[in-house]
Chains A and B, each alone.
Chain A
Amino acid sequence: MPSHRAHRAHRATGREERARRRLAAALLGAGALAATLLTAAVAPAAPPAPDREPGDATAATSDVAQRSRD
């Protein structure tokens, strides 16, 4: 049979563990709420991204056509 002291220590550990999990869940929940608000409310303008525009160096362009005298 576990001693009384060991049983109390075990209960304290269980309570501590539950408290830690509740705290972690609360902090993550607060982060998720803040993230949702930011996603919904913040949409900053940005300059064009040249590396994400359609077309690249391999595609024919009017500049390239003129230089090749096509």
Chain B
Amino acid sequence: MPVVTTEARHHPLYVPLPSAPPTAAPPAPAPAPVPALRLAPERLRTAVVVGAGAVALLWGLQARASARLDALFATGAHLTGLLAGYGVLVLLLLMARVPAVEHGVGADRLARWHSRGGRYVLGLIAAHAALALCGYAVHTRTDLVTATGDLLSYGAIAAATAGTALFVAVGVTSARAVRRRVGHETWRAVHLSGLLAAALGFVHQLAGPDVAGSLVTVWLWSMAHATVGVLLVWYRIVVPVRAALRHELRVAEVRDEGPGVVSVLVQGRGVARLRAEPGQFFRWRFLRRGLWATALPFSLSAPVRDDTLRITVKAIGDHTRRIRRLRPGVRVLASGPFGALTAHRRTRRKVLLLAGGVGITPLRALFETLPGGPGDITLLYRASDAGGLVLREELEAIARERQAALHYLLGPSDGSFDPLAPRALRNLVPGLAAHDVYLCGPPAMMRAATASLLRAGVPASRVHKEDFDHA
């Protein structure tokens, strides 16, 4: 029987577990993979800041003091241009899917940094263009329109201007208000044009006086860009294609798990070599009409076993509804694994897994595999009603096998009783503040749960989560 706290029995939303006969223990999962290399988020942040400092220093060492208006405009243009070029490089690196970065920082955090950084970089590009135009106009004593025409006669600057237009399109379509109205495929196509924009802008950077001043700086600036380009090609094209050829993943079975929810079992060769850890996700592309154009992130809902990967998908849009109609044999491209919601983040013996809705999928895999003795692992599963619980029998079997605590917290999110309130959580999970907490669910639930956990005394550094809206 799973461990159940007495106070929980008196909660109006508490759902007691049925005393089902013990089921056979699930087969042992594949042996733990060799630990992946991980770059800590703080180290990456520090490296980015140090890089920006080095770029500013490159400008500072070569800038000359001048009170002339054209010189002031030009020096501002050079600084903003250098920082914008560096910023574009950082944005591309964040999305290069380098495993050490993905596993250490987490896909959702990388996407948030990319999004936030993108706004600053757009601002720097705009400032650079405006300052450069004004500086040129003042220097040549012409009006802005004539100055624009003169500057566009330089091929590299014309290319950079086209690149800027593409960056503006990327920025506009990424704004929340616009993104809601634009289809995902359209948004993605415009966003990918940012790569072309970066290439178009790169050439004119080599002519900037701060870079062009010496062959060494030209080579170093080119090296930084070329390396990011190589990483993008390797990890976003070569690695997924190689994995597809090596592992030959195909749909083996589509299993109904409840209203609107299916599990898709994908089998291949040498799947253990993908080194997927419980809690991680892949970006899945099913090579079937209506599905092949889009790759969506879904977490593994079980550890890798017998060369089989399993995802559990809830139909919430056109794409996920089509996944229900997959047939065995359909070829699958799985890019990954990604994500940092894994066992390596654990720092305490006691762990609380807090799942909402279909966020149960990565936590179900962790519930089965996180090392721990009786009573060390607790799973709280929030859903609006019992019909919304997914993989219930598996969860109960795992809880029985491991003598882990399992509580279902049912009820509407706007009801009078909040099962995720700090006091309710402390009652359900004794010693809550001494736990590591893994959290996954809808964005609103995660925000509310995070706030509650912090108020309940769990340090922020021990609340581990992944937001799939940003993955």
Interface residues on A, range: 20 to 34
Interface flags for A16-38 (1: CB within 8 Å of B; 0: not) read 10001000000110111011101
A46: chain B residues within 8 A (beta carbon): 154, 156-157, 204, 207-209, 212
Contact residues of B between 146 and 184, Cβ < 8 Å to A: 150-151, 154-157
- Judging by beta carbons under 8 Å apart, are B209 and A49 in contact? yes
A36 to B208, CA, bound (A): 18
1/0 per position for A45-63, CB-CB distance to B under 8 A? 1111111100011100000
Q: Are A44 and B136 in contact (CB under 8 A)?
A: no
Please indicate the chain A residues that have their CB under 8 angstroms from the CB of B208 in the complex.
Answer: 46
Mark each residue of chain B from 22 to 53: 1 if its CB lies under 8 Å from any CB of chain A, else 0.
Answer: 00000000000010010000000000000000
* CB of B75 within 8 Å of the partner chain: yes
Cβ-defined partner of B223 (8 Å) among A9, A35, A57: A35
Complex contacts, B63 vs chain A, CB 8 Å:
51
A47 CA to B207 CA, complexed, in Å: 9
Q: How does the 8 Å CB contact mask read for B181-207 relative to A, with 1 for contact and 0 for none?
A: 000000000000000000000011011
* Chain A residue nearest in CB terms to B275: A16
Q: Which of B34, B136, B225 contacts A16 (CB 8 A)?
A: B34
Closest residue of chain A to B226 (Cβ to Cβ) is: A34
CB neighbours (8 Å) of B138 from chain A are 50
Across-interface contacts of B74 in A (CB, < 8 A)? 49-52
A38 to B226, CA, bound (A): 9
Contact A49 B78 (CB under 8 A): yes
* Interface presence of B344 (CB below 8 A): no
A27-B234, A49-B209 given as contacts; is B67 within 8 A of A44 (CB)? no
Q: Which of B49-78 contact A (CB under 8 A)?
A: 62-68, 70-75, 78
Cβ–Cβ contact B64 & A34, under 8 A:
no
Whether B68 lies near A56 (C-beta < 8 A) is yes
A42 within 8 A of partner (CB): yes
Q: Are A42 and B203 within 8 A (Cβ)?
A: yes
The 9 A-B residue pairs with the shortest CB-CB distance, nearest first, are A31-B227, A46-B207, A44-B156, A34-B226, A35-B223, A35-B222, A51-B71, A57-B67, A50-B70
